[in-house]
């Protein structure tokens, strides 16, 4: 029975993501009459990696499989846990042998809507991101060729790759399968979306005030915009800067572009399900949403490349609490993407 229910859930996910992948008519429905999750637009799916039920199931298995790490102790889900906002609830990500990374684990929720991946945007699309943690010596420490050999030696995976890709196990296939699964992890239909659709009772009075501040006086929407509340761009807000010398502990996007203006800049994270993804910022240095808003309220931390959108906001305590209530209440969906670990081959 559990396997039957799992298959039904998988079919529902495929239907939803197939809907996200195609155009809509003027009524907000796709050509087959299915509705997108409220608040979300059609997701662009790569032409060379279409969504299929079998591929998503394969990607789900790989995502949860610790055998993709050198010592069989870490999986994608170890740092991007569905029970922890698809993050890990810790300041930094922890890899094999207890090694600690230098950045927090970003949520994968709605990551299919954003082109550049990782905090510094060093990978293009999910397919470009999927293999990075596997080979990273701090995270999973398994060279890609070894990962392919390891997965190919498992009969159940070998059979699935033949079915899905009509080929043997390849690194390209591993990346595409994991990406296909990650594109199913979406959050929409939150109280904010319901309010925008006409339900006046979807938000509390405090959240409504917070919404107004978010989009106006507090200027949050300068960066947190669109269906996933992110512009997908990179900004220096002063996080991680030492005030005594004006240098960042982590240069961020600068390491990718070598452009001075990108020094200390990091990708704008989604605010969907933000209440579940503490701690915050690329270095996990801010424990609560209240502290996040207070950080912005003071104008961040002074730095040479500080974004022009960061300046003192002159919010009072009630304003701060209202913005927090909007994010906690308004952007948390009753359709949160819960996923149970699958049976592995």
**Catalytic choice (127, 139, 227, 273):** 139
Domain C-terminal end among 151, 182, 213 = 182
Residue 36 has a pLDDT of 85
Tell me whether residue 7 is in a domain.
yes
DSSP letters, 242-300, are ETTTTEESS-BTHHHH--GGGTTBEEPPP-TTGGGS-SBSTT--B-SHHHHHHHHHTT-
Asked if residue 119 and residue 30 are part of one domain, the reply reads yes
Asked if residue 159 and residue 241 are part of one domain, the reply reads no
Asked if residue 260 and residue 219 are part of one domain, the reply reads yes
Asked if residue 246 and residue 121 are part of one domain, the reply reads no
Q: Domains in the chain: how many in total?
A: 2
d(CA 179, CA 122): 16
The pTM of the full predicted model, rounded to 2 decimals, is 0.90
Region 194-201: mean pLDDT is 98
Asked if residue 105 and residue 77 are part of one domain, the reply reads yes
9-13, 246-250, 277-281: segment of lowest average pLDDT: 9-13
Tell me whether residue 341 is in a domain.
no
Active site residue 139: yes
Asked if residue 303 and residue 320 are part of one domain, the reply reads yes
Residue 187, CA distances (Å) to 45, 156, 274 in order: 17, 31, 11
Tokens in use for 227?
């269906």
Please check the confidence at residue 32 and state whether its pLDDT lies above 80.
no
Asked if residue 153 and residue 59 are part of one domain, the reply reads yes
The residue length of the chain stands at 345
d(CA 216, CA 240): 27
The residue range of the domain holding 310 is 191-330
d(CA 58, CA 224): 33
Domain C-terminal end among 164, 182, 200 = 182
pLDDT digits (tens, 9 = 90+) for 312-341: 999 999 999 999 999 999 999 999 999 999
Tell me whether residue 214 is in a domain.
yes
pLDDT digits (tens, 9 = 90+) for 252-280: 999 999 999 999 999 999 999 999 999 99
Q: Categorize the per-residue pLDDT at 6 as very low, low, confident or very high, splitting at 50, 70 and 90.
A: very low
Asked if residue 97 and residue 60 are part of one domain, the reply reads yes
**For the domain that residue 312 is a member of, what is the CATH number?**
1.10.760.10
Asked if residue 135 and residue 253 are part of one domain, the reply reads no
Domain C-terminal end among 154, 182, 210 = 182
Asked if residue 91 and residue 220 are part of one domain, the reply reads no
Asked if residue 34 and residue 117 are part of one domain, the reply reads yes
Asked if residue 64 and residue 172 are part of one domain, the reply reads yes
Rg from Cα positions in the chain: 21
C-alpha angle 276/37/17, rounded to 5°? 95
């Amino acid at each position: 029975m559990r396997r039957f229910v799992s298959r039904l859930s998988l079919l529902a996910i495929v239907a939803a993501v197939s809907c996200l992948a195609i155009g809509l008519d003027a009524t907000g429905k796709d050509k087959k009459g299915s509705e997108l999750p409220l608040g979300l637009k059609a997701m662009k799916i790569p032409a060379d990696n279409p969504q299929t039920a079998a591929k998503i199931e394969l990607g789900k298995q790989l995502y949860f499989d610790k055998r993709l790490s050198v010592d069989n102790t870490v999986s994608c889900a170890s740092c991007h846990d569905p029970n922890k906002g698809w993050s890990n609830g810790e300041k930094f990500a922890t890899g094999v042998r207890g090694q600690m990374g230098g950045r927090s684990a970003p949520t994968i929720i709605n990551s299919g809507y954003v082109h550049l991946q990782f905090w510094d945007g060093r990978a293009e699309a999910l397919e470009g991101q999927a293999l990075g943690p596997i080979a990273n010596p701090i995270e999973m420490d398994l060279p890609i060729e070894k990962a392919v050999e390891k997965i190919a030696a498992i009969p159940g995976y070998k059979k699935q790759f033949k079915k899905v890709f009509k080929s043997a196990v390849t690194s390209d296939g591993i990346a595409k399968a994991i990406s296909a699964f990650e594109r199913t992890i979406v959050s929409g239909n939150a109280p904010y979306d319901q309010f925008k659709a006409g339900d006046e009772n979807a938000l509390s009075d405090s959240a409504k005030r917070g919404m107004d501040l978010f989009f106006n006086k507090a200027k949050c929407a300068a960066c947190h915009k669109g269906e996933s509340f992110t512009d997908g761009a990179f900004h220096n807000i002063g996080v991680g800067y030492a005030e005594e010398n004006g240098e960042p502990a982590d240069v961020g996007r600068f390491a990718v572009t070598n452009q001075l203006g990108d020094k200390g800049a990091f990708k704008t994270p989604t605010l969907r399900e933000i209440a579940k993804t503490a701690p915050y910022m690329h270095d996990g240095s801010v424990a609560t949403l209240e502290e996040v808003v207070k950080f912005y309220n003071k104008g961040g931390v002074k730095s040479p490349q500080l974004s022009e959108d960061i300046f003192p906001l002159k919010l009072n305590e009630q304003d701060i609490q209202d913005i927090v209530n909007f994010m906690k209440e308004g952007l948390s969906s009753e359709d949160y993407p819960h996923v149970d670990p699958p049976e592995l081959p």
